Structure 1
């Protein structure tokens, strides 16, 4: 996934904060800012890859927005970026990461990059397992001579090996155990 093709939605009722995050990220991503939860849900669609979500907002809180995002089964990563210190209530929340304000420009870039790496890994891993499954079905139904003579089977095997290399490469980009575990939880 190319960063310039990735879309980040910043949701924070403090307009200055949301605009600052947007300014920090706009050179590397498509960024949209909204200043309330209800508006975030109105603009959120499949094009959004990462949501940076404030937790404490008037009207619809970040917690409520997060619940609605997960209910809609949107395929985006949600990072709570908030001044609210985490407590045990976060165990039941469906966010992908949680960072406490204040946040630096470098921290924001790092978290968005990490979330996009996880998205990329998830996609590649799902494709890989789909192709491996297809190969296993063919191997169970066809004899070795038929498989060896098949151009389609050779292309499938080549595609599996290329994707295996991409998956391994992306996995190495996952910087720590939490990223790796998080990526598998997403699956």
Structure 2
């Protein structure tokens, strides 16, 4: 992660779409672009804060790029930004958010802001929001049944319980002790 403006890596095989998204955000963020999975992997490094990744690209699919990014320990928030409606196969994909194209400037900037904010959260909170994003994406697409969805809901509840347990251990009195 860098000082100054956050760095966003836009990855999509449609060059015109990459250029459009870049024009939406280049006045706010430092922007890197890639029009293939291989180019994305050679561009991504620890300076990248957010990756917006297309799911369906020739030669190397977004899912593969996502797994390679995670295996390389690239500490970036990753959103799948794709025209592919989510199905149960997203449950095991290690992304932080999922959005279906098209998106306008406000949606794109809002997505990046949310991802940057989540990057500051602890591990459990980040996991919670990634799971909640998957759940919401599946529900919006009408794919909220089946064993994968049920497993996702169970994982989400388990993470919620860990977060609640942490908050209970800290307690409200300790949390507000500095204010007294």
1:118 and 2:118 are equivalent in the alignment = yes
Structure 1 gaps, min length 5: 126-170, 172-176
Matches within 5 A, 1:1-187: 4-122=4-122, 178=129
Structure 2 gaps, min length 5: 134-158, 164-180
- Distance apart, 1:33 and its partner CA: 1.0
The residue matched to 2:9 in structure 1 has which SS? strand
Contact (CA 8 Å) 1:4, 1:28: kept in 2 or not? no
1:40-84 CA-partner distances (Å, limit 9, x unpaired): 000110000000000000011111000101111211000000000
Contact (CA 8 Å) 2:5, 2:29: kept in 1 or not? yes
Partners of 1:71 and 1:4 lie apart in 2 by: 27
Partners of 1:180 and 1:42 lie apart in 2 by: 28
Partners of 2:24 and 2:2 lie apart in 1 by: 18
TM-score, with normalisation over the residues of structure 2?
0.67
List 4+ stretches of structure 1 deviating above 6 A.
179-182
- Distance apart, 1:180 and its partner CA: 10
Partners of 2:131 and 2:61 lie apart in 1 by: 29
Partners of 1:77 and 1:99 lie apart in 2 by: 14
Partners of 2:2 and 2:45 lie apart in 1 by: 18
Which residue of 2 is the match for residue 149 of structure 1? none
Which residue of 2 is the match for residue 162 of structure 1? none
Partners of 1:50 and 1:95 lie apart in 2 by: 11
Contact (CA 8 Å) 2:2, 2:47: kept in 1 or not? no
Partners of 1:23 and 1:101 lie apart in 2 by: 16
Q: Cα RMSD (Å) of the superposition? A: 3.0
The residue matched to 2:90 in structure 1 has which SS? helix
Contact (CA 8 Å) 2:11, 2:18: kept in 1 or not? yes
Contact (CA 8 Å) 1:118, 1:179: kept in 2 or not? no
